[in-house]
Amino acid sequence: MVVLHLRHQRYITALLSSTTILLLLYFQNSLLVFTYSSHSFISKKVQCDCSICVTDRENSNWFSERYDPNISVLLNSTNSVLHANISRWWMELQSNPGNYTEVVDQLFSLFPDKEHYSDTGPDRCRTCAVVGNSGNLLGSKYGPLIDFHDFVIRMNKGPTEGYEKDVGSKTTHRIVYPESAMDLDNSTHLVLLPIKILDIQWLISAFTTRHITQTYTDVPATINANKDKVMILHPEFIRYVYDNWTRGQGLYPSTGFLTLIFALHICDEVSVFGFGATSDGIWHHYFEETLTSYESGVHAGIFENETIYRLQQENKILMYKGWT
């Protein structure tokens, strides 16, 4: 009887041990590992089905220190109230700030008021191409590769017509402000970059009264765009990019840099085209010969460039320079 009792105990012990090991193996891919940040406890679990996921924060301490998965990327009625420090900083960028609360009340009676891109998960691999306007795209023949991505995010007035072989023809999102706005097809998301309240007022006007025709320069009274696909970058997101990614340098981040960080938050795999100089070190847009400069102006161009290069080193983006 003693022998049987001992055997029974050993059997139970072995069974429990096996069960524990199986449970650990089962949950190893879904166990959430939390670490404390200045904002909250955040998950470090890989969240996508790509070979390398942007949101994998465990493989880069440098990235983990900067990337906040809980930031409000797009504005909607449930997150539209601005924290005092965000509101104060954003208002300081503006010469004649209007009544933000009144403007927001109008905004979401016209445009979609919902959460976007909350479908992240282990079965999703959303590939995104961020297409800048650098002259290094000319002759690159990147068009088919760019169009192969799930999302193709362009900025400002960078055209596709006539440049399809090098820049592609597909556009799912275009980041603009009033002074850089252009007509869009019905399938493209207009993503407004609001540096001032007047930018949001212009957006409302462009789809209704069409009375705003000037900011600090002439702007279109209206544009062709699908109002059901309109999105607005959150002022808190702009401040986050300024604090976390440009480290408070410059007055505010450039459109190209904001677009890239936007992509890091809505995409699982990010490829970057049309950033930087041409092979001979010239900075110009692929659609015009006028020289541009990243070293002057209100943006921290040099620092932004260094940060983009570091993102490539940390395997968070794939950079395509055209001439390499």
* Binding-site residues from annotation for substrate: 94, 133, 156, 216, 252, 256, 276, 285, 299
Among left, alpha and beta (phi > 0; psi -120 to 50; other), residue 275 is beta
Radius of gyration of the chain (CA): 24
Residues within the annotated binding site?
A: 94, 133, 156, 216, 252, 256, 276, 285, 299
Write out the catalytic residue numbers: 252, 299
Amino acid at 197: I
CA distance 265 to 68: 9
- Alpha-carbon torsion (233, 237, 242, 244), positive or negative: negative
Strands 318-320 and 41-43 turn out to be unpaired
Maximal CA-CA distance, the chain:
97
Closest Cα to residue 155, out of 136, 127, 133, 172? 133
CA angle 126, 132, 136 (to 5 degrees): 120
